[in-house]
Chain A
Amino acid sequence: MTAATSILPAGLYATLPLWPLFGALLVGLWIALRVKPERAHWPVVLGVLVSAALAVTLFFDLQRQYAAAPETHAGGFVYSVYNWISLGQPASLEHNQWLAVNFYFDGLTGVMLLFVTVVSLMVVLYAVGYMRDHHGHPERGYERFFAFLGVFVFSMITLVLAGNFVLLYLGWELVGLCSYLLIGFYYGKPAAAAAAKKAFIVNRIGDFGFALGIFSLYWFLRPYVQPGENPLDYAVVFKYAQHLATAQIGGMSQATLVSLLLFCGAIGKSAQFPLHVWLPDAMEGPTPVSALIHAATMVTAGVYMVARCTPIFGLSPLALDVVLAVGMVGAVLTATMAMAQYDLKRILAYSTISQLAFMFVGLGCGVPDSAVFHVFTHAWFKALLFLGAGSVMHAMGGIIDARKFSGLRHVLPQTYAVMWVGCLALAGFPLLAGFWSKDEIVHAAFERHAAVGIIMLATAGLTAYYTFRMFFLCFHGPLRLPAEAGEHPHESTTMIRPLWVLAGGAVLAGYLGVSFGGPASESFLAIFRPHGLIHDFLHHSTIGHPEHGHGGLWLLYLSAGVALAGIALAWLRYGAAPVADPDARALGGLWRLWHAKYFVDEVYDALFVRPLRALGRLFFNTDNYGVDGVIWLVTAVPRGLGFALHYLQRGALQAYALSMVIGLVAILVLWSWWT
């Protein structure tokens, strides 16, 4: 991005993250001054609005520039704010090395920012309606909620804009913090407090690997860094990344080690197997939070990071295979878990993990642009689905269990309509957003290996099935309402409006990733050809030009057919929203295993939590009895000596005289013997 083609100065784009933060700080002031919470959402809404406006402008700015110079796909533009942490002055270099606060703008940034800010804006607007009771009074903690949301948007934008690994880590941890604070928003509920803690700690397990990845990057690349270059800056790291491919460490290439360590972070943040356990529990948070953080934006950070580090991951086939394997296992496991749940939000949470796993499969197959495209489309329809579920929850007085209600299309017509769109998009219904991006990944999977392709296609079928199982259970069949719903359950217009915008996104977002025209015989339905604007953008980023196979069109038709089949099957089994679950009967033990989430939580508890706590207890007891015991023994020597000697000093004059005489005699004897 050069000044000539840009209508706004880069310095202004660098303020992108700050606006929501300002908003949050204002709300903080609001809380401190104890102003009425009624309108506390405004600073954050405005802050996110400004950021969204800037992000959209940036997107078009970049687009103009890429259109003007389609062939240049050099690195992005770096805007340095200030030098943050000193890394000291290595003996070999004249200059100080710094970790700077700097931002990196390229096509990937543009795409990510576009949906991060716009989806955030919709969620914030929705929350204005959601965080109130039926009379329109704000809930307890209303201001706090918006302050946290503001901080979250700030953190997420920082994560995406970061120009070096440490700033990325900053955003990475801060989104984790916001997730912690927002999952625990209803902190009075023990389940919410526990879920918040779990989310943060499981994320930190991943971050542990991530941090080691950053340390190793510094370690490996230090010899190559020239004066004036800051190690750990993207630009510097990717410039010298080639060296990592050849150098060996512990039987693997350095690139493999770094990639695997960084990938640990992605597993934690994007809730992939085996660290997926926190995401379903995270549904204890308010629904807008689930939509924003645990579906649309934060959890995609792992995918973003791996895509950003394509120059490193691409050097290591082994690392890509691991990414692929983790993705495949996660996709299948969580899709099956989603088959056997009743909690709307949890079903959506599992589907999120499963969809993220799709993205990792894309990354593992070497098509990061397709993975990011799926991130992009997924954000719209997943936010929509969650917010729709939130609308249901709001109307049902906080009840979200699909067994407790059915036939809601009669009372929530607008929610019903937008949920149709969202579910179709998630199921991969042709021409909706999810279809295009998911298909690219399935394509790449088939290119990689037929078995991978078939597994992914089957998972896509499962996705369609469980999505519509949930949908039909909820909206179809006879009208049944829980007692908590009250007399007249209804929808709030404040909440519905943003849903329509997201529904628009769920329909249209896919078209940013396809192009039109060309020979009819090579196009889907004679119109659409894969790869569009988004891919152009991503080619102007660190992703570069991944090789895509030219798989046949038959696959597009096949995957459309699979999606339709899944929906149809769901209709057959659940179309009437039966009270007794037909799957639970038919699948028996397998279904119960799925329902119990494969007992992963229990296994972790037995394998890690209990042993570590036992070790802690052992250490503490060692402190109290072991170490102090040794000290007691050491001090026992002088104490014992003193005790023994005190018999000599009991104040009995005769004893003193006796001992004096004995001593004198002894000395005399010795003396005479000596001489």
Chain B
Amino acid sequence: MDVLALNLLIFLPLVAAVLVWTLPERRESLAPKLALAVGCVVLFAGAWLWPRLPAAMGDRGAGALVGELKADWIAVGNRDGTSEAATTLTNGFVLRFHVGLDAISMPLIALTALLVPLSIWCSFTAIRKRQREYYAWLLALTTGMFGVFAARDLLLFYVFFEFTLVPLYFLIGVWGGPERRYAANKFFLFTFTGSVLTFAGILYLALRAAQIDHCSVIDFDLLRLSALSLKQLTTAEQSLLFLAFFAGFAIKVPLFPLHTWLPLAHTEAPTAGSVLLAGVLLKLGTYGFLRFSLPMVPAGTLEWARVMGGLAVAGIIYGALCCWVQRDVKKLVAYSSVSHLAFCMLGMFSLVPVGLSGSVLYMVNHGLSTGALFLVVGMLYERYHTRDLDALGGLARQMPILAFFFVLFVLSSIGLPGLNGFVSEFAVLLAAFNSEVLGRWYGALGATGILLGAVYMLYATGKLLFGPVKEPAGTPDLSAGLKRDLTLREIAILTPIAILVVVLGIAPRLVTDTLDPALQTQVLARVQEASALAAAVAGGAP
């Protein structure tokens, strides 16, 4: 059943995408409903898998996989004539379809499973042209996202990683704002350029792995690649490999100064695209660092950790200050992602337990609060056709329900204790401050983010919600069947996120209880090994 549920997550949206695409034109109105139905199935499958993880970990330890499926996909090489099985393959390479969920991927899978139906649902009134294609691309994107987090094979990961580009390219380029073409091209070229370098890194690592293990078959198995002997893979090699991974992942995160594609892509994307981009796709980068860079090239990670920490701190401050001067509220939220994801990176490269778990928690929390903020901004835009902070004002009076949700998500985003954002922010900063790799200056400078975050978010809140009422002429436009304040559908979209924002603030252990041991055994242990090795080398040299 687990296997079925997991593969349902990956393949059902793809099948549904084809179905939706090929709907006859007179059945166009069926497309959103069908997509939403698939979204709900996905949500249920995700909810069904969630409690399976603690059970599996109880049985099989911290590295347990839920719904594991392993099959050869492409196997090239000399086969032994006697047998058909791939195990007898020599002098070739094998690409496996190997999926499974562990404690590191589960929170992100759950996040995706939640955000997908919500982003489909939020498009009901916003998207009115070429609906079949739209929902088809959205569903295709869903497949890519689940695939990335479920992949247990590095090349399979890469396939899904690149696959996500295509649907999003079309979502932005066709249904986006006025500058959508430029934004989509920029988005595609940036991320694609980076990931080509990553691909080279992957190939090199797999080749070296085969060489080190004296094996004539090149494979890309995650576990195998993250258990290579650190003595054989030199630090210089690891350092270069880290840079190769960096190229793809850092652009995706996006880490300062490679972030310039993001504000544009976010601003031009339709609401659902922004929600999934911020909520899930940016985490591909951070997840990539956590899953691949850290355990596969730990010595390289240690070499570059301070640089990464420095870039993260710079990103926190840079992103926050950029937010403060935005007039377009969507762009403001987009820049806040730059700042927030930098927090995430700061925690990760502190390389201490609380930092890593805080970092994963940050991914989830950022997905919830920023995703929700994009949803709310989208709802505003549908009514007022502008996101200009100077053209809107005093909306708390016009839309008290929207104001409630907006303020709640803003508070979550600026890390108000009691809500989800605080837990991860606190963990990340505490970790950076106490890290042996980074140290207190990184923590202290990063902590300015909690101040600047309040500054720009409350600046936007004040402009948008408070003060005298200001609405552009002829708005709100309620032609799509909207009400002045939020409709029931919109409330139903935001409520689950609002509940999670509170619940995860009070009980972060829902995530961290399974996460901590997994991070310890799969990631930290490798880093500690590399660090001990480096210490031994340094001690033994004189």
The digit string for A193-220, where 1 denotes a CB below 8 A from any CB of B, is: 1101100110011011001101110110
CB distance from A329 to the nearest CB of B (A): 24
Is B447's beta carbon under 8 Å from chain A? yes
Chain B residues lying within 8 Å of A616, measured Cβ to Cβ, are 321-325
Chain B residues lying within 8 Å of A196, measured Cβ to Cβ, are 462, 466
Instruction: Decide: A615 near B321, CB < 8 A? Known: A88-B353, A204-B451.
Output: yes
Closest to B528 in A: A91
CA distance in complex: A645, B260 (Å): 30
Closest to A155 in B: B418
- Check A173 against B416 for contact (C-beta < 8 Å): yes
Is B103's beta carbon under 8 Å from chain A? no
Is B434's beta carbon under 8 Å from chain A? yes
- Check B447 against A208 for contact (C-beta < 8 Å): yes
CB distance from A151 to the nearest CB of B (A): 10
Stretch of B297-305, B368-376, B452-460 at the chain-chain interface: B452-460
Is A166's beta carbon under 8 Å from chain B? yes
Instruction: Decide: A211 near B353, CB < 8 A? Known: A170-B417, A619-B321, A620-B325.
Output: no
Chain B residues lying within 8 Å of A208, measured Cβ to Cβ, are 447-448, 450-451
Instruction: Decide: A211 near B447, CB < 8 A? Known: A174-B416, A193-B462, A204-B454.
Output: yes
Instruction: Decide: A631 near B260, CB < 8 A? Known: A215-B429, A215-B443, A619-B318.
Output: yes
- Check B430 against A218 for contact (C-beta < 8 Å): yes
CA distance in complex: A87, B430 (Å): 9
B356, B429, B434 — which one has the most chain A CB atoms within 10 A of its CB?
B434
Number of interface residues of A (CB under 8 A): 52
- Check B447 against A212 for contact (C-beta < 8 Å): yes
CA distance in complex: A190, B463 (Å): 10
Closest to B355 in A: A88
Chain B residues lying within 8 Å of A602, measured Cβ to Cβ, are none
Partner of A623, one of B322, B394, B423, B508: B322
The digit string for A133-173, where 1 denotes a CB below 8 A from any CB of B, is: 00000000000000000000000000000000010011001
- Check A88 against B357 for contact (C-beta < 8 Å): yes
Closest to A158 in B: B418
Closest to A151 in B: B418
Chain B residues lying within 8 Å of A90, measured Cβ to Cβ, are 353
CA distance in complex: A173, B448 (Å): 16
Is A89's beta carbon under 8 Å from chain B? yes
Chain A residues lying within 8 Å of B260, measured Cβ to Cβ, are 623, 627-628, 631
Per DSSP, are chain B's interface residues mostly helix, strand or loop, or mixed? Answer: helix
Is A187's beta carbon under 8 Å from chain B? yes
Instruction: Decide: A188 near B357, CB < 8 A? Known: A197-B459, A613-B325, A627-B257.
Output: no
Number of interface residues of B (CB under 8 A): 57
- Check A174 against B468 for contact (C-beta < 8 Å): no
B357, B417, B422 — which one has the most chain A CB atoms within 10 A of its CB?
B417
Is B215's beta carbon under 8 Å from chain A? no
CA distance in complex: A123, B356 (Å): 45
Instruction: Decide: A88 near B516, CB < 8 A? Known: A215-B429, A620-B326.
Output: yes
CA distance in complex: A616, B434 (Å): 29
Chain B residues lying within 8 Å of A184, measured Cβ to Cβ, are 466
CA distance in complex: A197, B410 (Å): 13
Chain A residues lying within 8 Å of B394, measured Cβ to Cβ, are 187-188
Instruction: Decide: A204 near B450, CB < 8 A? Known: A83-B509, A188-B467, A627-B260.
Output: yes
Instruction: Decide: A215 near B352, CB < 8 A? Known: A174-B418, A184-B466, A613-B324.
Output: no
Partner of A218, one of B259, B323, B434, B458: B434
CA distance in complex: A206, B260 (Å): 32
CA distance in complex: A96, B469 (Å): 52
Chain A residues lying within 8 Å of B520, measured Cβ to Cβ, are 88-89
- A90-135 contacts to B, CB under 8 A, are 90-91, 96
B422, B433, B440, B454 — which one has the most chain A CB atoms within 10 A of its CB?
B454
Instruction: Decide: A187 near B466, CB < 8 A? Known: A88-B352, A89-B353.
Output: yes
Q: Which 3 pairs between the two chains have the least Cβ-Cβ distance?
A: A88-B353, A193-B466, A170-B417
22 contacts between A and B (CB under 8 A): A84-B506, A86-B357, A86-B516, A87-B353, A88-B520, A170-B417, A170-B418, A173-B416, A173-B422, A188-B394, A190-B467, A194-B462, A200-B454, A201-B451, A204-B450, A204-B451, A204-B455, A211-B447, A215-B433, A215-B434, A619-B318, A620-B325
- Add 20 more A-B contacts to A88-B354, A188-B397, A211-B426 (CB < 8 A): A85-B512, A86-B508, A88-B357, A88-B520, A89-B353, A89-B516, A89-B520, A173-B417, A173-B422, A177-B411, A187-B394, A187-B396, A188-B466, A188-B468, A192-B466, A197-B459, A211-B450, A616-B323, A616-B324, A627-B260
